[in-house]
């Protein structure tokens, strides 16, 4: 069998989101996964003055590596308030290697792995409003359809 790189995007909107508490809870969930390593959380703040008014955006970024037999890759997560442009609280990009007969089977195995090792834990700890797991290919096709 061959090894393929499987990149997936997970978007989650939760009920009762609190930036600090929800970010810390997500950080704890990711730290307790047996497959995630070198996990770090960083607070980010962006101040911007527009027409004499200050706009402050805050979010948390969580990053680390994925330790799987096919070879390590990485993940990156952001925890933030929802907005019209980005209607989710958590965005997690998962890049990992996975062994399979072909790319489609690798993607299916990757979806299953993310569901079992990340989504399941998030669902246990949060009240989910919406959840979406996609690959960059599906996301790109969706964007192209919307722009036509």
Element (H, E) at 19: helix 19-31
What is the span of the domain harbouring residue 47?
Answer: 2-147
User: 3-class SS at 145?
Assistant: helix
pTM of the shown model: 0.86
Span 88-102, pLDDT tens digits: 999 999 999 999 999
Number of domains in the chain: 1
Phi-psi region at 62: left, alpha or beta (left = phi > 0; alpha = psi -120 to 50): beta
Per DSSP, 113 falls in state: H
How far is CA 24 from each of CA 70, 118, 138, rounded to the nearest angstrom? 29, 15, 30
Say which residue, 20 or 1, is predicted with more confidence: 20
Percent of the chain with pLDDT over 90: 73
Q: CA 81, CA 58: separation in Å to the nearest integer?
A: 8
Per-residue pLDDT, 137: 66
pLDDT at site 140: 45
Q: Which residue has the higher pLDDT, 144 or 41?
A: 41
In Å, the largest CA–CA distance within the chain is 60
Give residue 138's pLDDT band: very low, low, confident or very high (50, 70, 90).
low
User: Residue 39: its pLDDT value, please?
Assistant: 97
pLDDT digits (tens, 9 = 90+) for 72-92: 789 999 999 999 989 999 999
What is the predicted pLDDT for the residue at 145? Answer: 43
């Amino acid at each position: 069998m061959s090894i393929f790189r499987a990149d997936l995007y997970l978007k989650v909107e939760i009920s009762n989101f609190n930036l600090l508490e929800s970010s810390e809870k997500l950080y704890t969930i990711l730290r307790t996964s047996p497959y995630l390593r070198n996990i770090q959380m960083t607070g980010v703040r962006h101040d911007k003055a527009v027409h004499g008014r200050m706009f402050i955006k805050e979010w948390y970024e969580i990053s680390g590596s994925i330790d799987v037999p096919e070879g390590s890759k990485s993940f990156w997560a952001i925890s933030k308030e929802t907005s019209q442009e980005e209607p989710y609280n958590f965005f997690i990009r998962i890049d990992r290697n996975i062994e399979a007969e072909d790319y489609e089977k690798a993607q299916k195995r990757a979806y299953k792995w993310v569901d079992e090792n990340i989504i399941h834990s998030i669902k246990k700890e949060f009240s989910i409003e919406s959840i979406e797991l996609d690959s960059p290919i599906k996301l790109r096709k969706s964007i192209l359809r919307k722009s036509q």
